[in-house]
A and B are shown apart, each in its own frame.
Chain A
Amino acid sequence: MNTNLPEQYTQDYKYLNNQIEKIQPKWLNEIRNKAFSNLSKIGFPTQRKGNEKWKYTNISKLAKSSFSFESEESPYIPNKNFITNDSDWTNLIFLNGKLLNNISNFQKADNNITISKFTDALKNPKTSQLIKTHLSKYSQVESDGFTSLNTAFINDGILINIHQDTHITKPIHISFISHSNETPTVSYPRILIIANKNSSSNIIESYIGDSKIDSFTNSVSEIVLDDSAKISHYRLLNESDNTYHIESSRVTLKRNSNFESNSFSRSSKLGRYDLKVNIEGENAYCNLSGLYLTSGNQHIDNFINIDHIKPKGTSRLNYKGILTEKSRAVFGGTVWVREGAIHTDSIQSDKNLLLSEEAEVDSKPALFIYADDVQCAHGATAGNIDAETIFYMRSRGIDLETASKLLINGFANEIINNVDIPELKQQLEKLFLESLPKYKLDF
């Protein structure tokens, strides 16, 4: 089958193979080889007809474009604004997929957590075994060309292993900077997070960049929460508007575990976040909230799925979008309640504020219930600011612009207020509230 995969990927794959084949364990080479041959077979999901997962997002331009992979560290020094200065955070800074050791900051003091590059972790029998047990066990290589591509290039991944009964309050911040200089560049961030029994932690993933030409970030993460583990996960997408961002995240929840996810998308030419949470233990909880603010010609696609497999699970899904100018947003996602997942409690909602007539949203949440005795609700809305509401405020002396701003901020704040890390919250308020592009006022 001819998948029209740009030749560059094959070249880069062969080149990387030559470099690492002898160093990497055999099982990992096998995973990578299988992934690459799968990619050659299925290609990228350019066919949208009958493909519910990609119905509203057209990736044909991305699929045709050639991006090269930097196997060496780039000499480029990233913009200072990209780097959080909080010295008591753990800061891992990647540039085009390579960890920058000199400006990263591992909190070595803590023995209860392992943070390690795959290349290092694979040298240690214990961590190597951990990676072998989990890596590529949750991500969907076979059905997803992008995940195959990322998997074929696994080398510079990062392992975060939070030991049993450990409570880490200071955030672990992973920043992925994408930067194309002269040639369009692709990077393959790969994250494996294991939260062991009864642990808790805060993890921030930032995707940032300032590329003046096309670039491509193809990220895959796998997150496992063992019994009673808790993770507060924050994700920020703020790459340049020349960047294609395709990200897939697979989360597995064991008994009594608790996963809070807060996703904030502000930019990129095409940004896709494919998050799936599998509730594989009884009484697990997840709260997935998201805010996207789109402008210009941006296209943001959130594909958020929750699979209730075991009983007594609770899931909350609350995404909100503010669309301006000619931007587009897509919200897709399904909550499944499998047979036997009794006493599931699930609410799913996506609300959109369309501030321009040229902006468009396709919001299609779905719900499939195969179990009895469950409580589920879902809904989606899209509309401009309500003119009546604006009039109410104006009749109290508040001018049109302030009134709109109060309402838009109110809309966004519901999500931003979930953020428990003050420094991050401040940054988000700047990005989402203070930088609203001029919107059309036609009341």
Chain B
Amino acid sequence: MKKNKPLIEIKNLHVSVDDGIKILNGINLTINYGEVHVIMGPNGSGKSTLANVLSGRPGYNVDDGEILFKGENIISLDPEIRARNGMFLAFQYPMELPGVRTWQFLKSSVDAIRLHNELPELKIKEFDKLLEEKKDIVEMNSELLKRSVNEGFSGGEKKRNEILQLSLLNPTFAMLDETDSGLDIDALQIVAKGVKSFHNNTNSVMLVTHYQRILNHLNPDYIHVLIDGQIVKSGNKSLSLELESKGYEWIRESISKES
């Protein structure tokens, strides 16, 4: 059992973009194995930036702080190395890959991660079997697998495709950036089911969301409120209910009173 051991530790993380604008201003956050953390906060507060920086997206400068993943500082690692070490980001806006068949893309990902773990590439039949099994979890139409990645997919289909990748790659740390936005009620349940079937004591989830809805399906351990690049409040599930009814203004007010 790894429970209660830290999987990722973010210490005093300061991030800016190239024109010098500061976006994250000292984030401290530790996520242990087996936990589900939820990041909420107003638009533009830095939620996606946090997820992007953790996954190694180019274009951000880490000005200060550390990111320890499984005990190792990963700040200088390329995104593909982080992914192979067990990080995963479900994108807020998944990209379209024109001309790249979904099947090919998924197999390349699975093989890259297997090779890193000193496992042989999957044979086509083995991969097809794995894919068949995983695509049923997210109720993905097989026709979509023949198309170019995300090209002509509906918003909901793109999000399901993210969860399909989550199930296939089976990372240790899954960041889900608004995977619940833009889903109809049925799709939301399917996505929640996908996340639930993935999650166990050997991995962790960081979920960025604006809505209470998906939290009813998952059982979050912590809710964090991110405002202006800082975690200004953390609490348990009841905090999300409070936010849903009161919005963010009361938190801003209570911060300015304190300072």
Contact = CB atoms under 8 A, between A and B. Distances in A.
B165 interface: yes
Given A396-B83, A398-B108, A409 B99 contact: yes
A387 B116 CA distance: 24
A393 B57 contact: no
Given A391-B57, A407-B100, A402 B79 contact: no
A392 interface: yes
B222 to A, nearest CB: 24
B80 A400 contact: yes
A406 interface: yes
Contacts of A392: 91, 94-95, 97
Given A393-B105, A443-B58, A399 B80 contact: yes
Contact of B79 (A386, A389, A394, A406): A394
Contacts of A396: 80, 83, 105, 108-109, 112, 165, 169
Contact of A406 (B59, B87, B89, B97): B97
B84 A407 contact: no
Interface of A is mostly: helix
A398 B80 contact: yes
* Most chain A beta-carbon contacts within 10 A, residue among B56, B87, B100, B148: B100
A391 B82 CA distance: 12
Interface in B92-123: 94-101, 104-105, 108-109, 112-113, 116
Nearest to B85: A397
Given A394-B80, A395-B83, A397-B80, A410 B112 contact: no
Contacts of B169: 396-397
Contacts of B80: 394-400
Nearest to A415: B99
Contacts of A393: 97, 105, 108-109
Q: How large is the interface on B (under 10, 10 to 19, 20 to 34, 35 or more residues)?
A: 20 to 34
Interface in B27-72: 55-59
Contacts of A414: 98-99
Nearest to A392: B95
B133 interface: no
Contacts of A391: 57-58, 79
B78 interface: yes
A398 B108 CA distance: 7
Nearest to A402: B108
A407 B100 CA distance: 6
Contacts of B56: 394-395
A397 B112 contact: yes
Contacts of B98: 407, 410-411, 414
A388 interface: yes
Contacts of B97: 389, 392-393, 406-407, 410
B95 A410 contact: no
Interface of A: 386-389, 391-400, 402, 406-407, 409-414, 443
Top-7 shortest CB links A-B: A410-B99, A396-B109, A397-B112, A397-B83, A392-B95, A410-B100, A394-B79
6 contacts: A391-B57, A393-B105, A395-B91, A398-B80, A406-B108, A407-B98
